[in-house]
């Protein structure tokens, strides 16, 4: 009775998708100038900042729906990896509350990898 892997996959997808979607909507409303600045500071073209819309707006919608969730989660995982690199440089520092300073994007990265590995389950638009 407690073994419900498809419900667990659904909860993982919805949690990941909804939580990261807030970040995407924020960037849609307030812009991506901060991301452009981080890219420029690291010697990358600011144009790549538009990829954040793919990773934080489009991909989460696909993940929530379970529509090509593995591909969308791969896009999001890449987005989070780049975000960690640009914003924190993988420095092992702690926040003022004692946790790893980049634990939130790391959790999004791990959740994305889990969706890539597990798939979307049977409660998805294109379930298998």
Whether residue 126 is contained in a domain is answered as: no
Number of structural domains, the chain?
1
Instruction: Identify whether 55 is part of a domain.
Output: yes
Is 127 part of a structural domain of the chain? no
What's the mean pLDDT in 86-115?
A: 92
Assess contact for 74 and 117: CB atoms under 8 A: no
How far CA 44 is from CA of 39, 48, 86, in Å, comes to 5, 8, 10
Residue 93 counted as domain residue: yes
Contacts of 85 (CB under 8 A, 6+ apart): 42
Structural domain range at position 65? 5-118
Residue 125: inside a domain, yes or no?
no
Confidence of residue 128 (pLDDT cuts 50, 70, 90): low
Q: How confident is the model at residue 97 (pLDDT cuts 50, 70, 90)?
A: confident
């Amino acid at each position: 009775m407690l073994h419900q892997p498809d419900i667990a996959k659904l909860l993982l997808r919805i949690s990941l998708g909804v939580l990261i979607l807030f970040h995407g909507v924020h960037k849609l409303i307030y812009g991506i100038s901060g991301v452009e600045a981080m890219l420029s500071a690291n010697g990358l073209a600011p144009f790549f900042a538009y990829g954040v819309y793919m990773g934080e707006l489009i991909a989460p919608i696909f993940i929530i729906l379970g529509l090509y969730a593995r591909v969308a989660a791969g896009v999001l995982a890449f987005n989070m990896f780049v975000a960690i690199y640009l914003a924190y440089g993988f420095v092992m520092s702690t926040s003022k509350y004692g946790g790893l300073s980049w634990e939130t994007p790391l959790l999004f990265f791990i959740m994305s990898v889990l969706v890539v590995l597990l798939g979307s389950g049977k409660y998805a638009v294109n379930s298998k």
